[in-house]
Amino acid sequence: MSMKAEIVEIGRRLYSKGLVAGYEGNISVRNGNSILITPSGVCKGFLKEADIIEINSIGEKIAGNGVPSSETALHLKLYRERSDVQAIVHAHPPTATGFACAGLGLDQSLTAETVLMLGAVPLVPYGTPSTEELPEALNGFTGYDALLLANHGAISVGKTLEKAYFLMEQVEQYAKISFVANTLGTPKPLPCDEVDKLMALREKFGIQTGDPTVCSRNGQVTLYRFSRNELVNLIQEILNEVGG
């Protein structure tokens, strides 16, 4: 399947699964030195290969008829910072976006599958869509493969477009499970020793990004883990406070 045909197919899946509505969402794939990206103002469920636009690494149009996605800067930021990323999916999955609107990330180690595949899905602070605010809000978060965008939606990246898309499906699934677990009472995250075993498996599978943030040791204590970037930011904040 050609890259353009694959983008068309993933757009169809995003729309049919209700992960986007109307003209929402955007999809891109790295294509050597250029990037193939979806146009704005077109429903992603009914894309045609001819709709896909080719841009260069600074967002200038190389080929195609429409206007490149309004979130092009968001995609370019991730391609710049993550040489391993080949494809990006941005959508507004309703349950996950509900968490993002409630000011909540998906960072409890609730199921083995999500710890393995996603680690934590942190909440990125709000930035006005289609402006430079949104890529700037990603500072410190680009080490994760899936992120919630406050009061907006979610974004996922992958070594292939299908992998990035499956992460988006899993983010929505994870949000639904988290919602049910929290609605039923106090969720019981996996204990830390079990999370440690899953972390060892992640290493074996070559999954290097993301990090589970919450687990409970001896069923009592909640331990917060930080990604390297979060830790660096936290230390920087403390140093600033001490210095100021």
Strand partners, 215: 223
- Of the candidates 9, 24, 54, 71, the residue annotated as catalytic is 71
Question: Would you count residue 39 as binding Zn ion (CB under 5 A)?
Answer: no
Span near Zn ion by CB under 5 A; candidates 53-61, 93-101, 145-153, 158-166? 145-153
Report the nearest approach of Zn ion to the CB of residue 191 (Å): 36
Do residues 35 and 29 make contact, with C-beta atoms less than 8 angstroms apart? yes
* Secondary structure (DSSP) of 223-237: EE---HHHHHHHHHH
Q: Which of 97, 30, 29, 28 is nearest to 69 (CA)?
A: 28
Report the nearest approach of Zn ion to the CB of residue 183 (Å): 26
Span near Zn ion by CB under 5 A; candidates 104-112, 147-155, 171-179, 224-232? 147-155
Q: Which is nearer to Zn ion, 127 or 189 (CB)?
A: 127
Report the nearest approach of Zn ion to the CB of residue 122 (Å): 17
Distances in Å between the Cα of 150 and the Cα atoms of 101, 124, 156, 167, 197 are: 6, 6, 15, 18, 31
Torsion angles phi and psi, residue 34, rounded to 5: -110, 180
Span near Zn ion by CB under 5 A; candidates 153-161, 179-187, 210-218, 231-239? 153-161
* The dihedral formed by the CA atoms of 17, 6, 27 and 39, expressed in degrees to the nearest 10: -110
Active-site annotation holds for 203: no
Q: Which is nearer to Zn ion, 109 or 142 (CB)?
A: 142
Question: Would you count residue 212 as binding Zn ion (CB under 5 A)?
Answer: no
Question: Would you count residue 127 as binding Zn ion (CB under 5 A)?
Answer: no
Span near Zn ion by CB under 5 A; candidates 12-20, 139-147, 148-156, 176-184? 148-156
Report the nearest approach of Zn ion to the CB of residue 168 (Å): 12
Q: How many CB atoms within 10 Å of residue 186? A: 6
Do residues 1 and 56 make contact, with C-beta atoms less than 8 angstroms apart? no
Residue 1, burial from CB neighbour count under 10 angstroms (0-12, 13-18, 19+): exposed
Report the nearest approach of Zn ion to the CB of residue 98 (Å): 15
Single out the residue of 153, 158, 210, 212 in contact with Zn ion (rule: CB under 5 A). 153
* Contact set with Zn ion (CB under 5 A): 153
Q: Which residues are catalytic?
A: 71
